[in-house]
A and B are shown apart, each in its own frame.
Chain A
Amino acid sequence: MINGFPASAAWRAAIRWSCLGTALLLPIQASAPTDQPLLAILQGELKREFDVLKTKGNPAPYFLAYEVTEEQSDTVMASLGALLEKGHERARGFDTTLRVGSPKFDNYHPYRGQQVRFTTFTSLSLDDDANQIRRALWAETDKVYRAASRRYLQLETDRELLAKQDRQDADFSSEEPAQSISEAETYRYEMAAWARKVRAWSTEFKKYPKILGSGVSFRAQREIRTLVNSEGSAIRQGTNLFRIEMQGGAVAPDGMELSDFTTVEATDPAHLPSDEVMRGKARALAEKLNAMVNAPPAEPIVCPAILSGRAAAVFFHEIFGHPIEGQRQKDINEGQTYADRLNQNVMPDFISVEFDPTRKQYDGADLIGSYRYDDEGVKARPVKVVANGVLKSFLLSRSPVGEFVHSNGHGRRQPGFEVVARQSNLLVESSNQVPERELRNRLIEEIKRQNKPYGLYFEEVASGYTRTGRRGLQAFTVVPLVVYRVYPDGKPDELIRGVDIVGTRLAPFSKILATSNHAEVFNGYCGAESGSIPVSAVSPAILISEIETQKKPNSQLQLPILTRPEVP
């Protein structure tokens, strides 16, 4: 879903794959980095809590971790040349992970699809005040310990009441403790200057009275995470994220709501495009949205199509990335689409897919799904999940899956949520690459071969929706924003509106015929069980022999009765 108009509350909505949901998270202030007082306080209190609970607790914990997240952010947002909102926030809080029982069977054990959440994001002093931090850790640990014990004791009985399943995965993997302290770069940026820029860019929408709502925002965010656990890990790492979002909304004459957006992300403000480029993007967005108002509505069709690199990136993220998250192979309520397909062909053999959180850039573009350690303190590493079409691995947190008894560094979360396996930077590689122009020719050939009136070109897509549960249809819907009909007879491409792609999970991959030789980057926020996290996906454009589309629901919104006020 896209929030048609940016507003601070809407920004916090966690959306499965939304480029619009700006970071949630809870801002913070960088604390004095020199002697790591925070780390020392955390370690001291962790040891004290863990030692007592291990001796006196029944059931006794075998693992305890604290993860402190600090965030500092500055935001400006404008519409039609006027500043609507500016904000500065800083906050610091922590998450608690406590495991009772044993790694083989503990309080996190999956049971009938229950969503468990023991942690609560709890505020901490911004200025390393030992009294406040210790007391907060103590009170929260007590709360989490009680909840963990309750569930564990219940599980001990309940598992006896269930029929045994084939798979008997353990609940927690053993990993080497890690120590690593690093600081995020400190950048200077002038919010007053950014306010001027977003104002200027937002004026581009003024020229189009059919665009009913529009907004441009800039957000600078610095985040530092500090993690300690009872195994001796001590990790401190930081990230910077600078993000420009532009979006607009309109209504077609038949009442269909239309929207489009564009975003730019960078980890260094120097990597952001120039003023000229951004103004051009705003203009292009406004022009396209305006054109869409009068574009013909889509009709349901099954036809060949090209997904642009950015569209394909979302496609892979949704229909492949989510299903191979480790926990989905374990939970009896999950579809387990890929659970038994290891070492089998899941895609054409010219496609390989890697997740690489250690990769910071692709072709000059910053990747926002990068990190050095995951939220369980496991070192990030590249993971080849598909090699020449064959499924090789899942995305893994410290929750073991079958033969994979160790994490591969993909345990992630938004503060306030429990860690599960999540995506990082998805990279699609292809050994069947052709130049873009050639890919288009292949599309036209395919249209003719299938005797279809036209094919489709998906230029831009937005939030997808993935259902991985067993109940209900397991389907994905990525929401195309900018789609063209491509005619086989040389007629110019035609912009259409109101297209939805539909399909089941496995089928589409077998229908990839070829890819382009130029990959594009899509950065966004992905929402799932463990909250909203930054991810990237990189893919070349793909040619698909068959894609099924449906009509988007039409909310039959009536256009405003009066025209937009005429103002100078």
Chain B
Amino acid sequence: MRIAAVCVLLAALLSATVPSDSASWQKDVQLRAMADELARSKTLQLNTLEKPYFIQYVSEDSEGVTISADLGGLTHSSRFHVRRPSVEVRVGDYALDDTNSIFSTSRQLGLFPLDDDYGAMRTILWRTTDALYKSALNQITQKRNALREIADPDKTPDLAPAKAVQILEPERKFEVDQSAWEGWVRRASSRFASHPEVMRSSVQFRAFGSTYRLINSEGTIVRIPQPLATVQVRASSRAGDGRRVWNHAFVIGLDTSALPKSDELAGLAQTVAVETESLAKAPLAEDYSGPVLFEGEAAAEMMAQVLTDALVVRRKPVAPPNANTAAIQIPASVWATRVNSKVVPEWLTAFDDPLADSYAGVQLAGHYRMDDEGVPAERVSVIEKGTFKGFLLSRQPVRNAGGSNGHGRLPGPFGSELAAVGNLFIEAASPVPEAELRTKMLEKVKAAGLKYGLIVRRIDFPSTAAFSDLQSMALQARQSGYSRTLNQPLLVYRLWPDGHEELVRGLRFREFSAKDLRDIDAASDKPYVLNYMNNGSSLNLLDASSALVGSSVVCPSLLFDNVELTRAENDGDLPPAVPPPALTGGE
């Protein structure tokens, strides 16, 4: 509640201070080139065919640094600066245009000059617009042809109108001390040299400073910074039976001030190393069905995964009848038809508020003021007292949901923009202290006649699973007949009735989705702030897509009545014939 009040105030402040005089954007060469070419592009018409009804130009001016190290040796260090334009040309109208069909292609990407060269920029926009206009004409015809054969086509419009806004924030200088970070990353990675049981490890640092410019034919002009910085520590090992275990730690923030440096980073690597070593030695788990406590980080990771699936609607593209392409087999949100229905216990409330920039002193990576379609971010009430209130929306209309609520943040399929989580807050009306959750779980364990309960402390989210792990996971799900599950838990502990914990390895969740949130029994009074990298891919597989945004979930520990986990069915590998080389000089 307190947070909400702050945000409203913040929003009021911002809207009051936003500069919107047209003169100031004219001083920005990129915006001027975009505006001038856009004005000309509006006149595009091929013979007697229809003109574009909507044109949007975006330029992402990105600088970045990437550094990786492994066992104290630097394996990568680079810096880049590119300007990537993205052009959208729509023909038709808001109700029916060339997008949202299987014939629709994504927006063209190329390079924009690094020099502020007005003429070169306009030339690039001119050529791209021309090509995209022509393909839009082709695509809308294919779409109309497909629709002619569909008896009862979906009448949902293709683009939600948005109010024109003009927001110009100053450009931020991208400053990262590359050599200092090289030293910190290298040193942190050398911590693994004292952990010979860890077979593979890496420490990576990435920082991006991006200025996002957008201008469209509706009159919106935007210039906003979009920074992101992250460190990740990854490790894997092999247990005695040859099965792979893996583990990681991510820290994400809007700039490097949110990241651990020096000793703190080395400490993080050390923790991951110790955990991974313990995992390799931990006993293989058994199938389990009973109470599960998702503690802190794991509760937030679980929520991030299931709510992304439930709150973001991926529209089914128009396709000719009987078309059976993979593209149209996108699973619908599990809450697609549940608006205004009870979906979770009524003491639970959830809202997404991108305007919040920190929580309890922690910077929130999902903070932004304008989304990628030039729509101001809005606080969206998602669940009120257990009732589902609505989806996170981009300008791609969804059922009767209305217009964008400022969550269009990732490039989507078929010319759409995908909504993504900003800062998702999950609040419990009657929380209990952490310790009490353990007591409650043990009571349930006893009542159910079980030997122990399970505590999940980390889920593989974003996922760094190896391809073989994913394959085996998909196979296992298919064999058991379910389509939705959670990423594999990485740190799972048995909680025995005497209160002692035992780390186990090799468990997977069985079927699990937002529907299971009905079984939440209790929540703690200690919210955990999870900042994570979000690429919108299924399972949020790291590196599955180059588009990235920061997102946050603030969520307390959660106790579930009953969750099913099963032993991962991979076979162990025979260990290498040659023993690993000895490591020297670890810290």
Which residues of A are interface residues toward B (Cβ below 8 A)? 5, 7, 45, 48-49, 52-53, 56-57, 79-92, 123-139, 141-142, 145, 199, 206, 212-213, 558, 560-562, 564-565, 567-568
Task: State whether the Cβ of B113 lies closer than 8 Å to any Cβ in chain A.
Answer: yes
Residues of B close to A84: CB separation below 8 A: 111-114
Residues of A close to B72: CB separation below 8 A: 125, 129, 131-132
Contact B127 A560, beta carbon cutoff 8 Å:
yes
Residue from A57, A91, A127, A136 in contact with B577 in the complex, judged by beta carbons closer than 8 Å: A57
In the complex, the chain A residue whose C-beta lies closest to that of B133 is A561
Contact A562 B126, beta carbon cutoff 8 Å:
yes
Q: Give Cα A131 to B581, complex, Å.
A: 8
Q: Give Cα A213 to B40, complex, Å.
A: 20
Residues of A close to B115: CB separation below 8 A: 81-83, 199
Which residues of B are interface residues toward A (Cβ below 8 A)? 36-37, 40-41, 43-46, 69-82, 110-115, 117-123, 126-127, 130, 133-134, 190, 193, 199-200, 576-581, 583-586
Residues of A close to B40: CB separation below 8 A: 562, 565
Residues of A close to B580: CB separation below 8 A: 135, 138
In the complex, the chain B residue whose C-beta lies closest to that of A52 is B578
In the complex, the chain A residue whose C-beta lies closest to that of B199 is A139
Going nearest first, the 3 A-B pairs with the smallest beta carbon separation are: A125-B73, A129-B73, A132-B73
Known A199-B115, A562-B43; contact A53-B123, beta-carbon cutoff 8 A = no
Residues of A close to B583: CB separation below 8 A: 131, 135
Residue picked from A56, A131, A136, most chain B C-beta under 10 Å? A131
Known A82-B117, A86-B81; contact A560-B130, beta-carbon cutoff 8 A = yes
Residues of A close to B69: CB separation below 8 A: 125, 132
- Provide 12 A-B residue pairs closer than 8 Å at the C-beta atoms, listed in order of the A residue: A53-B578, A81-B115, A83-B113, A91-B76, A129-B73, A131-B73, A135-B583, A136-B70, A138-B576, A565-B37, A567-B122, A567-B123
Q: List 6 extra interface pairs beyond A86-B81, A126-B76, A561-B45, CB under 8 A.
A: A124-B75, A129-B72, A562-B126, A565-B37, A565-B122, A567-B123
Residues of B close to A90: CB separation below 8 A: 77-78
Contact B75 A567, beta carbon cutoff 8 Å:
no
Residues of A close to B190: CB separation below 8 A: 131
In the complex, the chain B residue whose C-beta lies closest to that of A134 is B581
CB distance from A245 to the nearest CB of B (A): 16
User: Is chain B's interface secondary structure helix, strand, loop, or mixed overall?
Assistant: mixed
Q: Give Cα A53 to B576, complex, Å.
A: 10
Contact B119 A80, beta carbon cutoff 8 Å:
yes
Residues of B close to A80: CB separation below 8 A: 117, 119-120, 123
In the complex, the chain B residue whose C-beta lies closest to that of A79 is B120
CB distance from A495 to the nearest CB of B (A): 25
Q: Give Cα A213 to B126, complex, Å.
A: 11
Q: Give Cα A213 to B120, complex, Å.
A: 11
Residue from A125, A128, A139 in contact with B75 in the complex, judged by beta carbons closer than 8 Å: A125
Residues of A close to B585: CB separation below 8 A: 131
Contact B75 A132, beta carbon cutoff 8 Å:
yes
Contact B43 A565, beta carbon cutoff 8 Å:
no
Contact A83 B114, beta carbon cutoff 8 Å:
yes
Residues of A close to B78: CB separation below 8 A: 88-90
Residues of A close to B121: CB separation below 8 A: 82
Q: Give Cα A561 to B114, complex, Å.
A: 27
CB distance from A454 to the nearest CB of B (A): 36
Residues of B close to A141: CB separation below 8 A: 578
Residues of B close to A560: CB separation below 8 A: 126-127, 130
Residues of B close to A130: CB separation below 8 A: 584
Q: Give Cα A87 to B110, complex, Å.
A: 16
Q: Give Cα A249 to B379, complex, Å.
A: 49
User: Is chain A's interface secondary structure helix, strand, loop, or mixed overall?
Assistant: mixed
Q: Give Cα A568 to B79, complex, Å.
A: 33
Q: Give Cα A263 to B190, complex, Å.
A: 45
CB distance from A87 to the nearest CB of B (A): 7
Contact A45 B581, beta carbon cutoff 8 Å:
yes
Known A80-B123, A565-B37, A567-B118; contact A126-B75, beta-carbon cutoff 8 A = yes
In the complex, the chain A residue whose C-beta lies closest to that of B190 is A131
Known A80-B119, A138-B576, A561-B133; contact A126-B581, beta-carbon cutoff 8 A = no
Q: Give Cα A90 to B78, complex, Å.
A: 8
Residues of B close to A86: CB separation below 8 A: 81, 114
CB distance from A305 to the nearest CB of B (A): 35
Residues of B close to A127: CB separation below 8 A: 73-74
Residue from A5, A49, A88, A565 in contact with B126 in the complex, judged by beta carbons closer than 8 Å: A565
In the complex, the chain A residue whose C-beta lies closest to that of B575 is A142
In the complex, the chain B residue whose C-beta lies closest to that of A202 is B120
Contact A126 B73, beta carbon cutoff 8 Å:
yes
Contact B71 A131, beta carbon cutoff 8 Å:
yes
Q: Give Cα A139 to B201, complex, Å.
A: 12
In the complex, the chain B residue whose C-beta lies closest to that of A143 is B576
Residues of A close to B44: CB separation below 8 A: 561-562
Q: Give Cα A5 to B69, complex, Å.
A: 35
Q: Give Cα A123 to B67, complex, Å.
A: 13
CB distance from B24 to the nearest CB of A (A): 22
Residue picked from B40, B199, B576, most chain A C-beta under 10 Å? B576
Contact B46 A561, beta carbon cutoff 8 Å:
yes
Known A139-B200, A562-B43; contact A145-B577, beta-carbon cutoff 8 A = yes
Residue picked from A56, A84, A132, most chain B C-beta under 10 Å? A132
Contact B130 A142, beta carbon cutoff 8 Å:
no
Contact B577 A52, beta carbon cutoff 8 Å:
yes
Residues of A close to B576: CB separation below 8 A: 138-139, 142
Contact B111 A85, beta carbon cutoff 8 Å:
yes
Contact A48 B73, beta carbon cutoff 8 Å:
no
Residue picked from A91, A129, A137, most chain B C-beta under 10 Å? A129
CB distance from B280 to the nearest CB of A (A): 15
Contact A125 B46, beta carbon cutoff 8 Å:
no
Q: Give Cα A132 to B43, complex, Å.
A: 59
In the complex, the chain B residue whose C-beta lies closest to that of A84 is B111
Residue picked from A124, A134, A141, A145, most chain B C-beta under 10 Å? A134
Q: Give Cα A560 to B43, complex, Å.
A: 13
Contact B120 A81, beta carbon cutoff 8 Å:
yes
Residues of B close to A56: CB separation below 8 A: 577-578
Known A135-B580, A564-B126, A565-B40; contact A558-B119, beta-carbon cutoff 8 A = no
Contact B581 A138, beta carbon cutoff 8 Å:
yes
Residues of B close to A85: CB separation below 8 A: 82, 111, 114
CB distance from B346 to the nearest CB of A (A): 52
Residue picked from B71, B81, B110, most chain A C-beta under 10 Å? B71
Residues of A close to B79: CB separation below 8 A: 88
CB distance from A492 to the nearest CB of B (A): 34
Q: Give Cα A568 to B33, complex, Å.
A: 13
Residues of A close to B133: CB separation below 8 A: 561
Contact B113 A565, beta carbon cutoff 8 Å:
no
Contact A82 B126, beta carbon cutoff 8 Å:
no
Residues of B close to A129: CB separation below 8 A: 71-74
Residues of A close to B45: CB separation below 8 A: 561
Residues of A close to B123: CB separation below 8 A: 80, 564-565, 567
CB distance from B270 to the nearest CB of A (A): 16
